[in-house]
Amino acid sequence: MIKLGSQIIEHTETNNCPLCSHPHQNFETLKAEVKNNKALDSITSALIQSQSEIASKIKDLEKENEAISSKYDEYKNLQIQEYLDFMAKLKASIESLTNDKSRLNSEIRYSNDEYESILKSSLSMNQAEYSAYLRKSIEDTERTLAATNDNIQQKLEAIQKLDNPFKTLRDEDLLIAQRIKGMEDSKLYQQFIEICRIEDVELSLDVDVLREKFRKLNLNYSIYVQTAKNNIQQLS
């Protein structure tokens, strides 16, 4: 700062300070005043100290960013496969329910055909024969419907139990997303961004990539869960 101040007054060569316009007796007095100005030395020291602190904070921020990225990778490796397995079970259960529904529809059509056959054959039966035949047909149909409904209910309950792991996943996603948001809102992060802007540095932090990974992950799971719920509603 003293060197810069000396260069400025050498350029102006007047008795007045070029910064504050304070008059001096002569140019040499002004020059000596600038060279002996301890305040400029203090400003220089403060700027150097501030620069060192910012560099240290940037280093800490990068470590924090690495820690979050590492946490995400660990989380992904430990959790994602488990939930993919849940999705496979869910898909298998839905397919089984669909097959049960098709089989039930087939049995209903068969019952309708059987009913038409009864109507046609009833003309050749007496009242006792017709009543016994009709009662047996109704009992057989009721047993089939009850067994099918029990099977469907059991599978629906199994699918509903899968919702708890999805909720746990969403809660863990939210915690990590909040931590990322807190870091982005911090004064330290904003200082880092401002320094990069001033220095015209192209910035693409891992935290930005991490945020996009979580956005896609949450979107995929939301689609899976909604699809499952829609299928359950159709089969209920």
Nearest to 61 by CA among 171, 193, 228: 193
Residue 1 has pLDDT above 50, yes or no: no
b/e string for 63-89 if b means 16 or more Cβ within 10 A? ebbeebbeebeebeeebeeebeebbee
Tell me: the pLDDT tens digits for 4-13? 445 555 556 6
Tell me: the pLDDT tens digits for 123-133? 666 777 777 77
**Between 114 and 59, residue with greater pLDDT:** 59
d(CA 57, CA 51) in angstroms, rounded, equals 10
Nearest to 195 by CA among 61, 25, 34, 102: 61
Q: What is the pTM of this model?
A: 0.28
Contact between 218 and 170 under an 8 Å Cβ cutoff? The reply is yes
Q: Which range (61-65, 134-138, 207-211) has the least confidence?
A: 207-211
Structure tokens at 171: 């809660």
Residue 19 has pLDDT above 70, yes or no: no
What share of the chain in percent tops pLDDT 70? 36
Report H helices in 122-186. 127-161, 163-185
Tell me: the pLDDT tens digits for 73-87? 776 666 667 767 777
Residue 156 CB burial class (10 angstroms; 0-12, 13-18, ≥19): middle
Tell me: the pLDDT tens digits for 171-214? 666 676 677 677 667 776 676 666 666 655 555 455 555 556 65
